Homo-oligomer: A and B are copies of this chain.
Amino acid sequence: MKKLINDPRAVVDESVDGFGRAHADLVTVHIDPLFITRKQAPKPGKVGLVSGGGSGHEPLHAGYVGFGMLDAAVPGAVFTSPTPDQIIPATVAANSGAGVVHIVKNYTGDVLNFETAAEMAQAEGVDVRTVLVNDDVAVEDSLYTAGRRGVGGTVLVEKIAGAAAERGDDLDAVTAIGRRVNENVRTMGVALSACTVPHAGVPSFELGDDEIEIGIGIHGEPGRHRIPMENADGITDRLLAPILADLSPAPGDKVLLFVNGMGGTPASELYIVYRHAVGVLEAAGLVVERSLVGNYITALEMQGASISVLRLDDEMTALWDAPVHTPALRWGV
């Protein structure tokens, strides 16, 4: 294992510390328990947005703390959900009296820890709602599993719900729009290589020189199918097919196309995937109204990508376009 780290157990603390210094104009890092809040206090009366999860998915979530997106982010250990003693003070800090929305990716650990924290914050007088993100179509049979995972769609939920909160929507409205985004987004990923969790020191799974994992998650957990390597267009087809089957958009629908890098994929390859994905969506009669291409929710240095398709309505598009100013996403300001 070769990584630009010092003590494997200090990776999260040191990285968040560096992040806080690099973006001191935007965020404040609180230590022990560890969480990150917006530097500029949000407008009084604004609904607070808190998200969090295991580390190793940077820029998610701390990179999205700032104007028009999150009020606080709670990083756990690498690939391990954070604990209630972190989530509770983050929730309290994000509450200006209008209540707080937890944006939680659907993993047992995240769900259980946020659930506990929400109960306890509620007991401290904070009105907490939860938007559960479960957009990963790789998990086919949700009756007999922990349910679909929250992956790429999380970024879109955070952006759009964040814009709704910023414009002054109330707790019910922000929760509703967050859920609406989740209901309209589907994601599927592929891994060309595994990633190595610092404290484990060995790759999280083994892939042959000519194998890829279709339906990979963002934790280096194995995917659903292992197949021989294919070219980018073929892989893109394989990712889009279950997305479109599940979302079943109608011809003429407007969509946001999000091609996400897993951390170790050159931008040039993401654009090759994007290129073919646009073609497939257009051939299906869809209108690609908005796009996002880059490393926005990663799995350490994994090589691979995910594709998310979000069916837009006019309100979502307007909220997507609304100004945002965070370390990792910025426009209009």
Q: How many copies does the complex hold?
A: 2
Chain B residue contacts of A298, Cβ below 8 A: 266-267
Question: Distance (Å) between the CB of A8 and the closest chain B CB?
Answer: 10
Q: How far, in whole Å, are A21 and B292 apart by their CA atoms in the complex?
A: 11
- Determine whether the beta carbon of B266 is less than 8 Å from that of A233: no
Chain B residue contacts of A272, Cβ below 8 A: 4-6, 11, 14-15, 18
CB-CB contacts below 8 Å: A107-153 with B: none
Digit string of A310-333 for contact with B (CB within 8 Å is 1, else 0)? 000000000000000000001111
Question: Distance (Å) between the CB of A193 and the closest chain B CB?
Answer: 7
CB-CB contacts below 8 Å: A250-300 with B: 263-276, 278, 291, 293, 295, 298, 300
Chain B residue contacts of A229, Cβ below 8 A: 2
Task: Indicate whether A18 sits within 8 Å of B271 (C-beta atoms), given known contacts A2-B209, A4-B305.
Answer: yes
A45 at the interface (CB under 8 A from B): no
- Determine whether the beta carbon of B56 is less than 8 Å from that of A22: no
Q: How far, in whole Å, are A305 and B4 apart by their CA atoms in the complex?
A: 9
- Determine whether the beta carbon of A269 is less than 8 Å from that of B303: no
Interface centre among A59, A272, A273, A276 (most CB of B within 10 A): A272
A17 at the interface (CB under 8 A from B): yes
Q: How far, in whole Å, are A275 and B17 apart by their CA atoms in the complex?
A: 7
Q: How far, in whole Å, are A333 and B333 apart by their CA atoms in the complex?
A: 5
- Determine whether the beta carbon of B58 is less than 8 Å from that of A18: no
The chain A residues found within 8 Å of chain B, CB to CB, are: 2-7, 11-12, 14-19, 21-22, 55-56, 58-59, 63, 192-193, 209-210, 212, 229, 231-233, 235, 263-276, 278, 291, 293, 295, 298, 300-301, 303-305, 330-333
17 contacts between A and B (CB under 8 A): A2-B303, A3-B192, A4-B270, A4-B304, A5-B231, A5-B232, A6-B231, A12-B268, A14-B271, A15-B271, A15-B272, A15-B275, A18-B270, A18-B276, A18-B278, A18-B293, A58-B266
Considering the complex of A and B, which 3 residue pairs feature the smallest CB-CB distances, nearest first?
A: A18-B275, A18-B271, A4-B269
